[in-house]
Amino acid sequence: MLEALNQHIQQVLYDDMMKLIEKVQKEYKADIFGFGRYLAANFATIQEWEEYNWLSRFSEAQINLDLDVHIRRTGMMRKSPFIWSN
């Protein structure tokens, strides 16, 4: 059942993330996720990047989302473990 749970959670998260991206694109027309930072690396100069005018094109951009979910453990937790290291 763990694999079925993984797939279900992955699908729910994927659907919600795509809805959020679509809402940001269509309703707010703002790149709040910073996709443009990665796209800018494809331009040789700042002038080319500015002429491309990413923010005006963002609402029509095709965003591909690849999501991979792995449930480590199931069951109840009394306290969440600290997973970040300094």
Examine residue 69 and state whether it is found in any structural domain, yes or no. Answer: no
Enumerate helices (H) and strands (E) in the chain, giving the number of each.
4, 0
Closest by CA to 3, choosing from 70, 83, 73, is 70
Number of domains making up the chain: 1
Examine residue 75 and state whether it is found in any structural domain, yes or no. Answer: no
Q: What pTM value is reported for the model?
A: 0.74
By residue range, what is the domain housing residue 55?
2-60
Examine residue 71 and state whether it is found in any structural domain, yes or no. Answer: no
Examine residue 83 and state whether it is found in any structural domain, yes or no. Answer: no
Q: From first to last of its 86 residues, what are the pLDDT tens digits of the chain?
A: 888 989 999 999 999 999 999 999 999 999 999 999 999 999 999 999 999 999 999 999 999 999 998 888 777 666 776 676 65
